[in-house]
Amino acid sequence: MNEKLTNELMDFIDSSPSMFHTIKSCKEKLEENGFQFLDPKKHWDLEIGGKYYTMTNASALVAFCVNSSNLVEEGFKIVSTHSDTPGFRIKPNPQIKFENYIKLNTEIYGGPILNTWLDRPLSLAGRIAFKGSDPLHPSSTLVNINRPILIIPSLAIHMNKEVNNGVAINKQKDILPILAYLDEIVDKNYLQEFICQETGIPESDILDMDLFLYPFEKSVLIGLNNEFISAPRLDDLSMTYSALYSILNTRSNHGISLFTCFDNEEIGSRTRQGADSPFLANILERITLSLGKSREEFFMTLENSFMISADVAHLLHPNYPEKSDITNKVLPGKGPAIKINSCFSYTTDSDSYSTFSALCKAHNIPYQVFVNRSDEKGGSTIGPVSASHLAIRSIDVGTPILSMHSSRELMTEKDFIYTCDALLAFLNL
């Protein structure tokens, strides 16, 4: 079972090179397992025992199972993740000609570790918007080149003697990927022409493109005993797949089990498809009203609800142990980490901690605690943002990884499996 689940995770990651493809991968899995699509522009008729999903912007999704009619007392059980990852977005008018090199102008998305993208085979994926019958609703399609067509070459050490002592990378100059080297006169938009060939869309019909670079090398198991998963986008596609696995396999008879995958966490969540929007709150209210409850009963339901904000955590690094807290060390193979911060960069408090830890103990699932060193400011995630919109009990939990925000990240297979077990146990309550 572990080997099958791990292979499914790696296949999921490899088929999800952009936030749009992540949601497409989720949608396909949901439909294979009997989940019905709910059009947000139409009336919803929900039934007890029904399994449903809905989307926005093709980059955020909510899927849920209606387990019971006793919604007010049994509430929502929510697992939240995100679909986006740090990297590079292609700018408008991206083509740069230098001698006979064709480079692409890029913009940083989120906070990638820049030097990990150098000298790697790269590809492109994203969404193409093109002319449709209604100007207010253009057509769109996804594109994944799925072969290496780009590379960002580093400067030779002979011309950069201090490179191993740490050299700053200029975000506009040093990390522009090469698309081609041409003998002929450069007199056309090569990227646009290439995209038209890949999609079959006439160049005159293309309106805009959301295209992102991604590392072409696939996910693999690594280590003497294949104990590690080495893959791009483990943050946060590993948590997304764990949550997806859990909603697909939940067998609860209480309340509503719900999985939501937001977009744009890596840049602050302040979009209509991000956690800092009414997206989830609106859907929770629509679910409640569609099941014949009143708006007052919706607010009562929230009081009996609980959310797990599922985003990866930090492992203790064997080469930098001093970067971890002195009494809370997160170790490989010891289970998901409960994330705690006194200033509430994470939502965990003693109430939600006790709930999750008791759940893990009841199912013999190991868990750990992550706290930043007091002199190291850590990041935040969707938990505090989403919980502040919903005002429900919440905890932040993550599978621990190394190399977070690198073009390739690392986690243990055991920790991934334990996280799947914990999220499934939660949705099964």
Summarised one tens digit per residue, pLDDT across range 216-263 is: 999 999 999 999 999 999 999 999 999 999 999 999 999 999 999 999
Rounded Cα distance between 321 and 338, Å, is: 19
Q: What is the pLDDT of residue 36?
A: 98
Percent of the chain with pLDDT over 70: 99
User: Which residue bears the tokens 């050490």?
Assistant: 157
Q: Does 156 score more than 90 pLDDT?
A: yes
Q: Does 1 score more than 80 pLDDT?
A: no
Rounded Cα distance between 306 and 426, Å, is: 10
Buried b / exposed e along 413-423 (16+ C-beta atoms within 10 A): bbbbbbbbbbb
Look up the CATH architecture of domain 87-215.
Answer: Roll (2.30)
Higher-confidence residue of 69 and 377: namely 69
Amino acid sitting at position 182: L
Domain 2-85+232-427 has CATH 3.40.30.10: no
> Which helix (H) or strand (E) element contains residue 195?
helix 190-199
Q: What is the pLDDT of residue 305?
A: 98
Q: Does 202 score more than 90 pLDDT?
A: yes
Instruction: Please indicate whether the domains covering 2-85+232-427 and 87-215 agree at the CATH topology level.
Output: no
Q: Residue count of the chain, please give it.
A: 429
| β-sheet bridge partners, residue 211 | 126
Q: In the chain, where are the structural domains located?
A: 2-85+232-427, 87-215
Rounded to an integer, the average pLDDT of 106-116 is 97
> Which helix (H) or strand (E) element contains residue 203?
none
Q: Minimum mean pLDDT among 307-311, 332-336, 377-381, 397-401: which range?
A: 377-381
Q: Does 188 score more than 90 pLDDT?
A: no
Q: Does 307 score more than 80 pLDDT?
A: yes
Q: What is the pLDDT of residue 377?
A: 84
Q: Mean pLDDT in the chain?
A: 96
Q: What angle do CA 22, 26, 31 make, to 5 degrees?
A: 150
Q: What is the pLDDT of residue 2?
A: 87
Rounded Cα distance between 423 and 281, Å, is: 21
Helical segments of 33-182, H only: 71-74
Q: What is the pLDDT of residue 383?
A: 93
Q: Does 282 score more than 80 pLDDT?
A: yes
Rounded to an integer, the average pLDDT of 351-366 is 98
Q: What is the pLDDT of residue 380?
A: 85
Q: Does 186 score more than 80 pLDDT?
A: no
Q: What is the pLDDT of residue 356?
A: 98
Percent of the chain with pLDDT over 90: 94
Q: What is the pLDDT of residue 187?
A: 75
Q: Does 276 score more than 80 pLDDT?
A: yes
Q: What is the pTM of this model?
A: 0.96
Rg of the Cα atoms in the chain: 22
